[in-house]
A and B are shown apart, each in its own frame.
Chain A
Amino acid sequence: MTALAHVPTSTGQPAGPPPPPRHDRHRLLPYLLLLPGAAWLLLFFAVPLFQLAAASLYDPTGSLSTGYALTWAFGNYPDVLQAYWPQFARSFGYAGIALLLALLMGYPLAYAIAQKAGRWKNLLLVCVVAPMFTSFLVRTLAWKTILSDNGWLVGLLRDVHLLGPDGRLLATPVAVVLGLTYNFLPFLVLPLYASLERLDYRLLEAASDLYASPVQIFRKVTLPLSMPGLIAGTLLFFIPATGDYINAELLGTPNEYMIGNVIDSAFLVRLDYPQGAALSFLLMAAILAVVFGYLRRAGTEEVL
């Protein structure tokens, strides 16, 4: 019976090696590969979001020891908003100002590395990510030393009368915004760099040959072409900056507390879960609203 299989090859042609076997891909294989990771993400990322939503609608008079009842208490939302709107406003205000500062610093930096650095490019990139090599909290605490009342920076600012004789930097909104800018700047610079690195220098030369001024070149050529990186970088900066409360805690005072500080104490100190959950959900909704509003504007409108 096996001889039959060889009949076609034995008709005249030299008998070469048999064709390599074909391996049919198992149809279930991709699902098997995905299953453990997807299950983990579903169970520990997606399901908890529903649990958080449920917790935000618990009866606010319950407590952790007596147990909470799900009473669909939508009133929790206006209640927390009324009590904590200053911290909410501060979160978005500080993150917004920090974002502006980061754009002013990050764009020239990304541009210089991408277009001007030549063979120093890789070294400068390492310098950009270098802060992330050490611990977030330790490097934030370093700002306490830099901005300290006895430090050289405050001394200098006092000498040139930018600060009064008792003026401080630490424990002020300035310190918190500086810390936010510093901690999340690399997230803005890296995507921006990736976009600007692909920028064809000849386009800039062409614009300049056609008598465009440097400002016009930037507005009409460089900026539009760097939009994808700019959008990605802005989001990567803004989302963690809004939710951050480490800078406000370490560099500020309760007067600078952001919404994260309130959520932290609601869950871990006051053990008021409905309130903490409602605040968390509001934060996520607010961030999503800002992000989608921004994406729509950036996506549909001509920039400048």
Chain B
Amino acid sequence: MKFSRWLADHWVMGVALLVLGYLSLPILVVAALSFNRPSSRLSYDFNEFTLDNWRQPCATSDMCDAVLRSVQIGFIATVVATVLGTLMAFALVRHRFTGRSGINLLIFLPMATPELVMGTSLLALFVSAGVPQGFWTVVIAHVMFCVSFVVVTVKARLAGMDRRLEEAAADLYASPWQTFRLVTLPLVLPGIVAAALLAFSLSFDDFIITNFNAGTTVTFPMYVWGAAQRGIPPQVNVIGTAMFVIALLLVGLTSLRGRRSRRAGLPVAPAAGRRAKSPT
């Protein structure tokens, strides 16, 4: 009966690995398809190995325009959302004020509302106000749904910060501005960077809200949506694979840096450990 004991101990891990396989399978397929020469425009099956897609990722120039537009929108939306969200996080963690529960609700609700509802309601607003839809309405929409995620991420970092470090700076005659610039900001910065990366990835990948507010502007997800009807160029999978590799490298770099500073005995704020991993 040794086998049944072994099974009892290990079946959870076995199931877990199977589920991880289910989660990873599409990524492997995307990577494989990026080296595929499809038999026809509407075929999704693997046909023949080729490096052409990687050599000429912009063979269909519409797609690269769309990627570029997504990067532009993502960049602007990220900067605005990160600034607005960080200011709000500071107010919430560092200050007492009346109306806190109302503000918390205003921040929480966009994360709990279906994207469909946010997208259509913004469309209704823009149409009734006579605002022409395009690049900037997409930016406005993206800032709106990114702000809440920035607030939550920066808040977690701020809340886990040791206030005594700032008090020590004040005791050593640092002005409030100096304390902020030389002590607070460097300590919160990892949280702000994480929030900005999250905002960018949310913006870059958003389809539903964008679709309702883009007018004739085409972002990368909208290009893929449109192309799904006409036939997907294989270069779409090159972009998908490249995105994956870049994101993976970023995660690898940050975890390496975290490990190195911990080994060197540098202070790592408690928020960097457990809290940063919990989804927010």
Residues of A near any B CB (own CB < 8 A): 20, 23, 25, 29-31, 33-34, 36-38, 40-42, 44-49, 51-52, 54-55, 64, 105-106, 108-109, 111-113, 116-117, 122, 124-128, 130-146, 148, 150-151, 182, 185-187, 190-191, 194, 197, 214, 235-236, 239-240, 242-246, 249-250, 260, 263-264, 267-268, 273, 276-277, 280-281, 283-284, 287, 291
Given A108-B15, A135-B205, is A34 in contact with B45 using a C-beta cutoff of 8 Å? Answer: no
- Nearest-neighbor residue (CB-CB) of B94 within chain A: A30
Question: Which residues of chain B come closer than 8 Å to A280, judged between CB atoms?
Answer: 116-117, 120-121
- Nearest-neighbor residue (CB-CB) of B70 within chain A: A135
Shortest beta-carbon distance from B38 to chain A in Å: 10
A42 and B106 within 8 A (CB): yes
Given A34-B87, A249-B228, A284-B114, 20 other A-B contacts at CB below 8 A? A29-B95, A34-B103, A36-B87, A45-B110, A47-B125, A51-B121, A55-B128, A108-B16, A126-B248, A127-B23, A130-B27, A134-B30, A134-B247, A135-B224, A135-B240, A139-B240, A140-B26, A148-B44, A243-B116, A245-B208
B106 and A46 within 8 A (CB): yes
Q: Which of A135, A244, A250 has the most CB of B within 10 A?
A: A135
CA A242 – CA B116 in complex, angstroms?
A: 10
Question: Which residues of chain B come closer than 8 Å to A249, judged between CB atoms?
Answer: 228
A277 and B120 within 8 A (CB): yes
Q: Is the interface of B mostly helix, strand, loop or mixed?
A: helix
A182 and B274 within 8 A (CB): no
CA A222 – CA B90 in complex, angstroms?
A: 36
CA A302 – CA B277 in complex, angstroms?
A: 29
A145 and B44 within 8 A (CB): yes
A146 and B23 within 8 A (CB): no
Given A139-B30, A142-B30, A268-B211, is A134 in contact with B243 using a C-beta cutoff of 8 Å? Answer: yes
CA A276 – CA B221 in complex, angstroms?
A: 22
Residues of B near any A CB (own CB < 8 A): 8, 12-13, 15-16, 19-20, 22-27, 29-30, 33, 44-46, 83-85, 87-88, 90-92, 94-97, 103, 106-107, 109-110, 112-118, 120-125, 127-128, 140-141, 143-144, 147-148, 151, 170-173, 176, 201, 204-205, 207-208, 211-212, 220-221, 224-225, 228, 232, 236-237, 239-241, 243-244, 247-248, 251, 255, 274, 277-279
Query: B88 is contacted by which of A37, A185, A187 (Cβ under 8 Å)?
Result: A37
CA A249 – CA B240 in complex, angstroms?
A: 20
Shortest beta-carbon distance from A12 to chain B in Å: 24
CA A141 – CA B45 in complex, angstroms?
A: 11
Q: List 14 A-B contacts (CB under 8 A).
A: A20-B172, A34-B88, A34-B103, A40-B143, A40-B147, A108-B19, A112-B15, A126-B248, A131-B23, A137-B207, A185-B23, A191-B279, A243-B115, A284-B114
Question: Which residues of chain A come closer than 8 Å to B173, judged between CB atoms?
Answer: 20
B88 and A128 within 8 A (CB): no
Question: Which residues of chain A come closer than 8 Å to B251, judged between CB atoms?
Answer: 126
CA A264 – CA B211 in complex, angstroms?
A: 9
Q: Which of B123, B173, B211 has the most CB of A within 10 A?
A: B123
Given A106-B19, A135-B243, is A30 in contact with B109 using a C-beta cutoff of 8 Å? Answer: no
Question: Which residues of chain A come closer than 8 Å to B221, judged between CB atoms?
Answer: 135-137
A151 and B45 within 8 A (CB): yes
A197 and B274 within 8 A (CB): yes
Question: Which residues of chain A come closer than 8 Å to B19, judged between CB atoms?
Answer: 105-106, 108-109, 185
